[in-house]
Structure 1
Amino acid sequence: MSEGRNRIGRRGFLGASAVLAASLPGIPATASAATPRPKADTTLRWWGNNSWEIRLPGGKVVLIDPWLTRFKTGTYSKEGADPDTRIEVDRRLIDGLVDSGELRADHILVTHGHYDHITDVPYLAEKTGATVIGTETHLSLLLALGAPEDQLAIATGGEFHTFDGYAIRVLRSLHSASGDRAKVAFAGTRPLSRRDRPRVISDLLEGGTLAYQVRSPSGFSVLNFGGSNYVESELAGLRPDVLLLPAGGDRVAEYVPRLLRTLGFPPYVVPTHWDDFDFPLDEPARDWGGLARLRDAVTAASPGSAFRVVDHREMFEP
């Protein structure tokens, strides 16, 4: 580790705990039954961290933040992650999953540029031919890491795209902040014109954060946040059927109850970004410390929402 550079722990990315405050007085913590929910025609699979596979009718597949290599960083250790940890891509692992047909993608959605979200995306894009969506910084990093340029689509938030019956809504969002000064780890941006190759995890800048809602042909929707923060005004009118909610959020006022109220108390809340990724995907997920607090916060704020925990590579069918 270079002298003078501090290690970054998971609390530097997601915060130490979820805010446990219940909903505001006078506002019921239940969703309205007036509007019927669309048909559940979507299957989800969790590949650890914030890596999600969304299988849609017609065989279409959307991946969010796919990171399968999970090289060791020490992020959850007492010392935190060493910013000089070398970036690695386990091509043999990815080849096996893609070549066998177990994993494929039509779209890959990047929430932000940190190592545990973006490292495997260039090679997965090359292997699958998927279209990748991200900010200018994300695309700059992806190009520098070898992603096919013609498969990259820039987004700033606010886009609403339709593809073969399913839709992807891109939302402006925020990354988690930590410490007394509420700082974002590995913050910064880089232009598309910059092509120097990232070598260590601190080279992978946050680069702006996006959230995504994926909607099936029936209207069934899944909303994902890559960090435990959000822009509340971006979410007005959204009523996702499944909310993929990161653990953490201790620096966000009323993180859980405010979000669930804004989204109309989703029927399903599935935790994401709660496992210690220093351990491989072929082992059961290990809680870094935020799962129980997140569960308690969701139960207090929205007792009508089903809190469903899935394990590594496990399917979830709402």
Structure 2
Amino acid sequence: MLKKLGVCVLALLMLLGGVVALLANQYPALPEQLNLNSPAAAESPVAQHGVRALFLGTSSFVWTDGKTQWLLDGFFSRPPLAQVMFSRLTVNEDRVNTTLNRAFKELGRPKEFSAVFVAHSHYDHALDAPYIVKNQPGARLYGSASTRQIALGQQVPADQIGLLNIPQDIPVGDFTIRVLGSAHAPTGFTGGNNAEPVTLPAHALAFKEGMSYSFVVYHRNTGAQPIALIQPSAGYVPGQNAGLKVPVVFLGTGGLGKLDEDYAARYWKEMVTDTGAKTVYLVHWDDFTLPLMKGGELDALRPMPKLVDHFDRTVTRLQAFARRDGVSLTILQAWKKVNF
């Protein structure tokens, strides 16, 4: 009897595993007109002020004005799903170094940067940032107290770690980065703080969210007005952008497709309608368990699988909002530059 029960349980687990594996490999299609990899997509205009942002998946960017470079998140290890679920994570140094080298080659700049900002402390934002900063002695890592513990766990010197306050303006060369308090999308994986150093390897759930931020980018060449708002996660604090007017929003969408339409409408209003933005690039929409490069070649991003999100639903909703408000909407692909 017990033997039969054991066989039934094993069969059930195998069936469940098969269903999960099937769903984890079902990806929604990207609409051609919104995909920057498509010939039909509108290209970013030529830089008028010499400022460029190179998108590298999730909410990772390299920003440059030809003199100064800074990074947001810099999450390039992108461990596979099985490792995230069943093992512990560490920095894939080869993958991080290869990605950084190629990113700076794409920008035509030496691999030098002054700062790395971390949007919040989940592993898909904070895993690689300490390693990157530690290998750039002149750089500083900016994040929450929770991110600080991740950096200390990777032996980043304390004088290279800056704790963020909100609101706060941080000069980086001719850039100024205004840090605003924000929130993670309500996905069930939110909250918590790292109270002690996070040493690697560590389970994905050891990377507690801490504080979540959004970032308003200013540059001396463009005057007193900001050039962009970066909203890394599909969450918000009501009124967080009060009085802010920006032309461009980089809008995080991770998990948005599993939330209701009323939430999506409030999120759009907070980030786009209320800021007056007329250009929106979607970020943090991709399956970050897949690498940015394959065999040394650049690779296009794929949406999160249907097991995790419903990006097709997100796009349908946001397209409707964009048409109503006269906003240009684009799915930002990896290795694409946005010029200012």
Aligned to 1:31: none
Structure-2 separation of matches of 1:110 and 1:317: 22
Q: CA deviation at 1:74?
A: 5.0
Counterparts of 1:265-280 in structure 2 under 5 Å?
Answer: 266-280=277-291
- In the TM superposition, what is the alpha-carbon distance from 1:310 to its structure 2 partner? 2.8
Q: Secondary structure at the match of 2:249?
A: strand
- State the Cα distance separating 1:186 from its structure 2 match: 5.6
**Structure 2 equivalent of residue 52 of structure 1:** 61
Partner of 1:287: 303
User: Any idea what the Cα deviations from partners look like across 1:101-150, whole Å, max 9, x if unmatched?
Assistant: 53542211111111111111011101233211111111111111222321
| Distance apart, 1:226 and its partner CA | 2.2
* Structure 2 unaligned residues grouped into runs of 5+: 1-19, 21-46, 106-110, 294-298
Q: C-alpha separation between the residues in 2 aligned to 1:85 and 1:210?
A: 28
Query: How far is the alpha carbon of 1:59 from its aligned partner?
Result: 1.9
- In structure 2, the residue corresponding to 1:295 is in which secondary structure? helix
Structure ID, larger Rg: 2
Does 2:328 correspond to 1:306?
Answer: yes
Identity %: 22
2:287 matched to 1:262? Answer: no
- The total of aligned residue pairs comes to 268
- What is the deviation of 1:280? 1.3
Where do residues 46-85 of structure 1 align in structure 2 (5 Å cutoff)?
A: 46-56=55-65, 58-73=66-81, 82=85, 84-85=86-87
**1:22 — aligned with what?**
none
Match of 1:169, SS state, is strand
Alignment of 1:72-221 (within 5 A): 72-73=80-81, 82=85, 84-98=86-100, 101-102=104-105, 103-128=111-136, 129-178=138-187, 183=188, 185=189, 187-191=191-195, 194-195=196-197, 197-198=199-200, 199-217=202-220, 218=222, 219-221=225-227
Give the number of the structure whose residues are more often helix, by fraction.
2
| 2:291 aligned partner, one-letter code | P
Distance in 1 (CA, whole Å) between partners of 2:89 and 2:336 is 27
Give the alignment's TM-score, normalised by structure 1: 0.76
Structure 1 unaligned blocks of 5 or more? 1-8, 10-37, 76-80
Counterpart of 2:211, as a letter, is G
In 1, the alpha carbon distance for the partners of 2:269 and 2:320 equals 8
| Matched-pair contact (CA < 8 Å) for 1:60–1:105 | yes
Kindly provide the CA deviation profile for residues 194-253 of structure 1, in whole angstroms up to 9, marking residues without a partner as x.
Answer: 235251111111112111112111145221122111113220111222211112432636
The letter of the residue matching 2:194 is R
Return the alpha-carbon distance in structure 1 between the equivalents of residues 212 and 272 of structure 2. 20
Partner Cα distance (2:168, 2:243) in 1: 15
Q: How far did 1:40 drift? A: 5.0
Query: Cα gap change, 1:97/1:259 in structure 2, threshold over 3 Å: closer, same or farther?
Result: closer
**Does the residue aligned with 1:160 lie in a helix, a strand or coil?**
strand
Q: Secondary structure at the match of 1:233?
A: coil
Q: Distance in 2 between matches of 1:196 and 1:88?
A: 11
SS at match of 1:140: helix
SS at the partner of 2:217? strand
